[in-house]
């Protein structure tokens, strides 16, 4: 029995879209936000923590897409599953090109995935070393390549392209607009936690 069916293909597309939504939320809220200091910077400690949380969660969603299709007794909905069991026929070369691009970009995240995102590696944590990430604009390239793969999957099993949902970016803009209109908290009105 072929593990890739229209239902599995749809779930794969949705997982890829979720990775995109997580990434675009973080990117537009923190990386591409010229209002950081004036808007979200008003809650400096919270937004610094939220930035780390959204960045690590986004990277973890990307990493999960690159897990092996089969691990022990489990089957994962991943790029590997779609490629290995997708029965791509004459399109296999085109699909492999997408995967090659994605893998090359993912390899830049792999050290972080293996040491701190999926595990608490003692040496990596104690040394607080930077372990990987996307150099400037490679995140855009990654999601462009992922969109191409997702479209190919959707065209094969779901009869048309599957564009990523960019409403998450609009949601960030709405959130920032709400924050800009919010009244600042006056010191003494809210309990303050001790800062290290």
pLDDT at 89: 94
Query: Which sign, positive or negative, has the C-alpha torsion 97, 100, 102, 104?
Result: negative
pLDDT for the residue 106: 86
Please check the confidence at residue 113 and state whether its pLDDT lies above 90.
no
User: Does residue 196 form part of some domain?
Assistant: no
In a domain, 189, yes or no: no
Q: Please answer whether residues 19 and 65 qualify as being in contact, where contact means their C-beta atoms are separated by less than 8 angstroms.
A: yes
111 in a structural domain = yes
pLDDT tens-digit map of 114-165 = 666 776 667 766 777 665 555 677 889 999 999 999 999 999 999 899 999 9
pLDDT value for 145 = 96
Does residue 188 fall inside a structural domain? no
The 3-class secondary structure across the chain, one letter per residue, is CCCCCHHHHHHHHHHHHHHHHHHHHHHHHHHCCCCCCCCHHHHHHHHHHHHHHHHHHHHHHHHHHCCCCEECCEECCCHHHHHHHCCCHHHHHHHHHHHHHHHHHHCCCHHHHHHHHCCCCHHHHHHCCCCCCCCCCHHHHHHHHHHHHHHHHHHHHCCCCCCCCCHHHHHHHHHHHHHHHCCCCCCCCCCCCCCC
What per-residue confidence (pLDDT) applies to 180? 82
Distance CA 25, CA 58 (A): 9
Pairwise CA distance, residues 86 & 77, whole Å: 12
pLDDT for position 97: 96
Provide the residue range defining the domain that includes 97: 6-181
Contacts of 139 (CB under 8 A, 6+ apart): 23, 27
Task: Name the residue with higher pLDDT: 4 or 40.
Answer: 4
Single out the residue of 79, 82, 83 nearest to residue 66, CA to CA: 79
Is 191 a member of any domain? no
1 found inside a domain: no
Please report whether residue 57 resides in a domain: yes
Write out pLDDT tens, residues 32-84.
887 766 677 777 888 889 988 998 899 999 999 999 999 999 999 999 999 99
Q: Into how many domains does the chain fold?
A: 1
Distance separating the N- and C-terminal Cα atoms of the chain: 57
């Amino acid at each position: 029995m072929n593990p890739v069916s229209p239902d599995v293909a749809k779930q794969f597309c949705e997982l890829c879209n979720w990775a995109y939504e997580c990434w675009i939320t973080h990117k537009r809220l923190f990386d591409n936000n010229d209002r950081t200091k004036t808007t979200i910077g008003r809650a400096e400690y919270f937004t610094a923590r939220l930035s780390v949380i959204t960045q690590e969660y986004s990277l973890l969603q990307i990493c999960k897409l690159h897990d092996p299709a089969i691990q022990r007794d489990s089957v994962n909905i991943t790029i590997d599953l779609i490629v290995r069991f997708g029965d791509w026929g004459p399109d296999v070369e085109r699909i492999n090109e997408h995967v090659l691009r994605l893998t090359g970009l993912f390899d830049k995240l792999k050290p972080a995935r293996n040491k701190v995102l999926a595990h608490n590696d003692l040496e990596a944590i104690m040394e607080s070393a930077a372990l990987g990430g996307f150099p400037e604009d490679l995140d855009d390239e990654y999601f462009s390549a992922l969109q191409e793969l997702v479209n190919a999957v959707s065209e094969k099993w779901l009869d048309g392209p599957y564009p990523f949902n960019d409403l998450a970016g609009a949601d960030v803009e709405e959130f920032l607009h709400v924050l800009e209109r919010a009244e600042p908290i006056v010191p003494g009105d809210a309990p303050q936690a001790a800062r290290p």
